[in-house]
């Protein structure tokens, strides 16, 4: 692959800036806003939104977004680059539960980890625009020669119709949606509109603050969770829960992810349903 002078310089800067080990605390990562039709599509690079486990490579170990070490087999990470990487542990579309079980094990199972890929979508310590960083990512991954270390493919979309067609294609294949990253953006952290997520359903997080007893067929079980969103809005979640979750509901204080169609004028989620307990 032929690299222009700027990308060569960025690659060298990345390679000679080793990542620093971090403590077990929430990491300062880039988080996405929701795409509501506001984006000038031509300004963004677009990729598939992966339903996996967010994982930050600090140069020595993989960590969750909360800073907890992910116990991997030694062979899985031994040839990773020494600079910081941000990405997603992933098995395939619709395989989140299987992946979650693999990642949560205190003693990693080699056979299970043989199915896992680390899909890289950002270089947290690298300079340059995202377009340039994406090229550096491809170069680094190719140079590492690790089959399960992969750069997330980025697409150019000329207009919104092309973007919507791409979304439909991904959804038809069982995917979650799309991610849009401003091609000219320097690296930043926190929630920012330089990164947008586009899905038919939106998702958000809330904290469990109460349990509503069930009635009828749910008698003796959980009827609904009372939750408080990150915006301070309180509401009930009574759909999306399995029978096992109703018999053994998430404890008060647990952070969960819920899905919804849209927000009311008062900021309450419409057609909200429980999705899952937030990953570690």
Using the 3D structure, point to which of 181, 198, 215 is the last residue of a domain: 198
CATH number of the domain that residue 253 is part of: 2.40.50.140
Per residue in 107-140, pLDDT (tens digit) is 999 999 999 999 999 999 889 999 999 999 999 9
> Long-range CB contacts (< 8 A, 24+ apart) of 156-159?
156/45, 156/46, 157/41, 157/42, 157/44, 157/46, 158/41, 158/42, 159/41, 159/42
Residues 76 and 160 in one domain: yes
**Residue 1 pLDDT:** 46
Residue 154 sits in the same domain as residue 207:
no
* Structural domain boundaries enclosing 18: 5-198
Domain count, the chain: 2
Q: Which of 18-32, 86-100, 126-140 has the lowest mean pLDDT?
A: 18-32
Q: Tell me how far the alpha carbon of residue 152 is from its chain's centroid.
A: 12
Q: How far is it between the farthest Cα atoms of the chain?
A: 69
pTM: 0.74
pLDDT digits (tens, 9 = 90+) for 154-202: 999 989 999 999 999 999 999 989 999 999 999 999 999 999 999 877 8
Residues with a catalytic annotation lie at 49
**Residue 4: predicted pLDDT:** 53
Q: Residue 137's closest CA among 230, 14, 263?
A: 14
Q: Which of 198, 213, 237 is the last residue of a domain?
A: 198
Angle between helix axes 130-144 and 5-15 (nearest 10 degrees) is 60
Q: Are residues 243 and 262 in the same domain?
A: yes
Res. 10 pLDDT band, cuts 50 70 90: low
Q: Range with the lowest mean pLDDT among 14-23, 136-145, 245-254?
A: 14-23
């Amino acid at each position: 692959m032929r690299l222009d002078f700027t990308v060569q310089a960025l690659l060298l800067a990345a390679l000679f800036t080793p990542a620093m080990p971090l403590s077990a605390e929430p990491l300062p990562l880039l988080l996405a806003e929701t795409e509501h039709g506001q984006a000038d599509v031509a300004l963004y690079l677009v990729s598939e939104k992966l339903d996996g486990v967010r994982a930050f490579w600090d140069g020595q170990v993989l960590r969750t977004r909360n800073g907890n070490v992910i116990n991997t087999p030694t062979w899985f990470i031994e040839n990773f680059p020494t600079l910081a990487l941000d990405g997603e542990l992933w098995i395939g579309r619709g395989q989140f539960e299987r992946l979650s079980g693999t990642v949560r094990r205190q003693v990693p199972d080699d056979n299970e980890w043989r199915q896992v890929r680390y899909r890289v979508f950002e270089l947290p310590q690298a300079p340059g625009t995202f377009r340039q960083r994406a090229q550096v990512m491809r170069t680094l991954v190719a140079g590492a020669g690790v089959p399960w270390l992969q750069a997330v493919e980025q697409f150019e979309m000329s207009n919104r119709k092309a973007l919507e067609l791409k979304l439909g294609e991904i959804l038809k294949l069982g995917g979650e949606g799309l991610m849009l990253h401003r091609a000219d953006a320097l690296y930043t952290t926190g929630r920012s509109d330089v990164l947008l997520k586009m899905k038919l359903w939106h998702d958000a997080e809330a904290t469990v603050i109460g349990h509503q007893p069930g009635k009828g067929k749910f008698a003796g079980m959980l009827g609904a969770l009372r939750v408080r969103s990150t915006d301070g809005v309180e509401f009930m979640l009574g759909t999306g829960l399995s029978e096992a979750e109703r018999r053994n509901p998430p404890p008060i204080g647990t952070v969960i992810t819920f899905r919804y169609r849209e927000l009311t004028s008062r900021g309450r989620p419409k057609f909200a349903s429980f999705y899952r307990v937030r990953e570690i």
